[in-house]
Chain A
């Protein structure tokens, strides 16, 4: 299949998108710019507005306010069939009364392309999704993964500039899902097509996407490369939603600007160092976020002390739960093979971390 030229044709942007259903704001002022040829995943819990945003881009839902642009053109109010997008849905939406080849050729037929050319391109698309020879089958003679590959072939056969996918893999079992993730990713790179991919599975989003847009309650929390999201979450929500995080409430000892290191008095006792994410006034309430694998444990020596209450062995890593005073619990993860000593229940332990591994969010921050 011909490689699409990567130019601004495939750029997708939404500006200040708001969509209300009655009094509920499903999408509440989201702006997102997807570059041509980029793979962006929309990630968020159920009901966070992912599908609604995708539907606004596709033309199946019209925004209450805001704009949608494709290739620099304002398409906010254009009908869905005029947007020249490819779309793959969660359920396999193959037309049951058509053969596999007819399904794939359908968009070409709608574009007035002649039969011979249609067949040629349908066959090529079948090869692209590695299902050559399946053209004459009925759609109900295919497995779930095969059906979704056909749906994919149907969505790319007319070489659209943008491909939209709404949880296309969530109906597949785990192994197949992982295989398809890589396959779609490779196909996207090969075609140079822009992809907006909705998922509620963070691993899937991190595996596939160049950038991930995290949504909660209709608001964009953070957009960034998977590594940035994990290592520098912008909000407590992102910190908690992507990977695992220990949250500890406390107060700033002195004022600090965003990015500065500051001293924190933890509620319930103990003073630790951390990096401020938000601007913090002296004495301001804050939430400290530390990843379990960044927590260090040492035999008790009068630091931030606690007791090991549980050790959970899971092969690749061991998770220890340490109780500090005042009902506070901290999880620490020790990867296998790092030569760390074994801890057992009831042992006294000192908990610490490097200042740059602890992030302090203003307590009012979303999430």
Chain B
């Protein structure tokens, strides 16, 4: 077991636990965008920041990638974190406003204005789809190409990938893309964009396997 101080409390967690898992275990909520329990940690969205180290000499790290260490002093809700996080959310809003996840975050953290020039990207490069495709679907059909501001998600050489089985895992996990996030619309309470996915529960309902919430397919089945 590893002993740490979390928000002033002496706690102990198992070796190999990340700070995010530790905080969640102790009931402290930390926002994330690029993290998913079933996937490896990536540390790209920077929303899950926590402050580590003694006051005065502390620094911010992403809790999803930071392993618990003996004697570490961790604080999860400081002004410094809040300031950085709100700036990040504002940047997300300025970049990718059509994501419901991001709009919700803005609401939760009371980011009410965007002071940057508005862009309308449909990807925040959180890398969830790439990890989903690789780690859960064992397909490796997509990857991240190029670097810096030119970075994007693509198939090899931008050709249709032989590896892709059209499983839709990438779309399912995406917190930003248009296909999932048009949100409920006036004429239609569900956005329908997910209809072309084929969730495993379509043929035979099995609770454990259904990873869609709300499950479009089930709802359709129920309506029929």
Q: Do A and B bind each other?
A: no
Binding site for A on B (CB under 8 A): none
A residues apposed to B, CB below 8 Å: none
